A and B are shown apart, each in its own frame.
Chain A
């Protein structure tokens, strides 16, 4: 058992984010073994559906109030979106087959209110293993901030 796994909640618990509150089952906790760039020490997240806010979801840290992200399926933003995982990504996610994977892109709103989506470094979740990671391509055609309405 790794350190990160040692603190998985055993009972249902409350997540309170600035977007939504939720009652979460410990079995719904996603393990991010490396954390996320900028939040390396946060290893557990939950993905929350919020009523009437589709296609947005909330990716929220467990055991800490930060960070909290709005996320969306990148194909919803760009239907032609296509991303080739590396074998290393698959191995780290414990994924045998890409078909089961869930893709999420983070939403970024600038000071002027323009909504952008990070298509460059998506989050990939393997629901079969409840693992997740942010994949970072060395070469990628998609922008870090893809502004809606382009």
Chain B
């Protein structure tokens, strides 16, 4: 065999088996990651109190500092403040550590008043962590599984490129009227090629972001294993310990923020605003105020800008600027986090992520149909199909059920109970989708796609009934986060209806073929698909 053919053959099996082994995880990660691109917009949909005109200037001296005094915060605790923005309209204050922590409070920046938040983790608290940890926190196992999947994805992309003899031709070949297996492969190739840069960007940057988890010992070798030395030199962090001597709590933070923003704006040439504030050693003589600027509005790169002030004297103690290679790493992180403001760029990345999910799903479907044609025994077919259906449509349906639960569950459930109930709904629906797929076998795809369509059409109605924000209302009020979420959900419903009808049509055609020719598959059709 020619060496190039032999290499292509080895890339073919690598692509197939690595893809099959991790396609379920990869689909979940890409799906949840795509949803996370607009997580703060979805949060506004899930938390009606967070809707409304965005006010980005707020006085922490008038809102947060009085609340801290009332809340008996001690010097051993760390206080953080997430500043409001167009995407995150509420001001959030958190306190962790100590006996009475963690504490959380939300303020409406327009009125300065504290807001009682809906009991939900929201998209940023559930979909987002799911995409990098799968919510498996035991020994950080979820991070490792996702890391393995990310590395596999990079390998899949490389091996996928080598497999294709006619990469340009594949780019323009989509034959939706051909046999389902053929059109599935066409769709796999197109989604793979059109969004190729994103298929490389997302896993590569994801691995980079969590490199300290995967390669902790090695990455810390230059620092002799001292993690604090690394975070200080690379990211400018340092430990602030209380002296143990009580002092008056910090009286003003607004002035520090104003000065820090002016420094960053003049340095970068684009408007820069503080988005994360920390108050360390509160009420101690060594109390410090840390002003961070991590998500620039008009830059892809995440900023590592951090200015530290002494709370008592008001003196600037640190003005950290990362070194060039760290900046390159920050660009990669920024390209993954997508916290920048231009919406159209984030839409591009959102569709890039969805194309990744579609590519993974079509790859799995193509492999499954190829196996069925090769005469896999009925029990194995049933198992493989149930796993595929549950991993793809089950995951999408469960995500929709999570949104429905958010609008249906009573608001007066105490504590985090309501939030955990939403999560319970998600996992129950996901689990049920596997059971349903095992029972319904071939019809499971169509059933579940119809369920997804139903959920998608019901969700905006429930949003309207529970909040009064009908689509026309949210558009007329300029609540684009809510209106956009409704529109995307409705569009998903339309797509699901189309898919369900197409599946029905395919089933009819296949049934007619089976009646005419009892032996499955024709030689001509088989020859049109490259051998695995």
Is the pairing of A and B real?
Answer: no
